[in-house]
Amino acid sequence: MFLARIILNIFVTAVLARLLSPQEYGVVGAALIVGALGNTIADLGMSHVVIQRKDLDRRHMGTISFLSLLIATCLAVLQWLLAGQIADFLHVPELVLVSRVLAVMMVANAFNLTVEAILSRHLKFKISSMARLVSWTASHVGLAIPLAYFGLSYWALVVAYMAEAFILASIYFFIARDYLVSPRFDMQSYRDIRSQSLGYSLAGISSFTATYIDNVIVARLIGTAELGIYSRAFYLIAMPANLFGNLNKSVVFPLLSKVHHDKARLRTAQLKGYALTAALALPTSAFLCCFAKELVLTVLGQKWMDAVPPVIAFSAVIYFRVGYKVCGAVMLATGRSYRSASMQITYMALVASFAFFSAPYGVNAVAFAVSGAIVTSFILYAAVSCRMTGLSALDFALVHVPPVAFAAAVFATGSAVKMLLAGSPDYLVLATGLLVIGTLSVVTLYLRASLIFGKYGVEVLQSMTSKKLK
């Protein structure tokens, strides 16, 4: 399902990049920062409580639904009233009307977050993924592309994002109706979840700030067009990163929650998480770094050539972005929400400071500085989570050896392909590299999967295959 989403994403991104300019993408990117902040605050960490808490009854669910919808409504009104001040702060005049329009979908997003948590609690990952794919396809393929083609500029994306939120809410209301509880506040239920949700909320707000603070700095200190380039480069690389990261959000976190009481099993699950993530992310990083120029020109087009350096910077740290989530999943699964929040605050501070001090040197400098902050944060977070579970530094290092070696082979193979096809069209170089490295990966996986995944990664593969056969 995630793979289908990525393929569609590439298609839609390629079409819209030729219909819209970096400036237009920058306007919508700035608006989405505001909307994402509202969604994070409205959630208050309660979606994590729904997944992690064992004794969750209908009263708790009613309270969570009530609070999410109430807070989302208040934030939507606040966003509407402060639209002018938001536009002035980010130096994006078009944001006044856009942010007011997008405020309407905040309640739908709050409802969607709660339902997704409920479906994850009941391990209904496939249903949730299908719903997201349908709503995204209907809104972006059915609306964004035609509206952009007919000249609606950034409003094509605004309409698409609103349609996606309401279509998804409609689907969720239908498929999850047996799990839904009427919103109803209960003080005792609120007291039961208050402490836990506050910790998750702090972690969520810190994570949001770390994710978007660099975008705010680029918009305010460099410019809207540069924000469009920066955000498109990040979005392009976020496709594979989100594919791997969703394994943590939808599968790893709920499963870790069920074994957190057994430190030995938790430690083994942690190793498997690192092994699987490294085996998927590191070779992908090597490929994307090698073919960054060809990827940008093939998918985005010639006018996005300035996005090549940021794509290289973000490609190089895909594993550290996703591995960071493995650390977070371990910590949240054991209920250490406040400790997780402190790590997120550290991450936020590193990203903010690195981005701020590099901003005078341009968008490329910000991309590389933020990538450095991501690597630093991962090292700190991994050290804390490994100490928490008793995982030794040697075991942590050894689990990464096979993926690192295979990633080096991928980069060397890609470099050889580029040398042999020097002067050929970019799309041909990219397609040939994908074919050659894809064949190398499949053959290696078939002959000896441990050369890519290592011992623990192979165990995960065998477990997944066994479940599929059953």
Question: Looking at the predicted structure, is the pLDDT value of residue 460 above 90?
Answer: no
Phi, psi angles (nearest 5°) of residue 334 = -90, 5
Q: How confident is the model at residue 470 (pLDDT cuts 50, 70, 90)?
A: very low
The pLDDT of residue 167: 93
The pLDDT of residue 355: 92
Q: Cα separation of 15 and 147, whole Å?
A: 12
CA distances from 351 to 33, 42, 324, 377 (A): 16, 24, 14, 9
Q: Cα separation of 194 and 178, whole Å?
A: 26
List Cβ neighbours of 450 (8 Å cut-off, separation of 6 or more): 402, 457, 458
The pLDDT of residue 429: 95
Q: Cα separation of 461 and 453, whole Å?
A: 9
List pLDDT tens digits, range 326-364.
877 777 666 666 676 677 788 888 989 999 999 999 999
The pLDDT of residue 198: 64
Q: What is the pTM of this model?
A: 0.79
Name the residue with tokens 């299908």. 130
CA distances from 22 to 13, 233, 292 (A): 12, 11, 18
List pLDDT tens digits, range 23-33.
888 888 888 88
List pLDDT tens digits, range 203-235.
666 666 777 888 889 988 898 889 899 988 888
DSSP 356-369: HHHGGG-HHHHHHH
- Tell me the domain boundaries of the chain: 1-185, 223-470
Mean pLDDT lowest among 83-92, 342-351, 461-470: 461-470
Amino acid at 35: G
Structure-model confidence comparison of residues 54 and 400, the more confident one: 400
Structure-model confidence comparison of residues 160 and 42, the more confident one: 160
Structure-model confidence comparison of residues 53 and 93, the more confident one: 93
Question: Looking at the predicted structure, is the pLDDT value of residue 390 above 50?
Answer: yes
Question: Looking at the predicted structure, is the pLDDT value of residue 42 above 90?
Answer: no
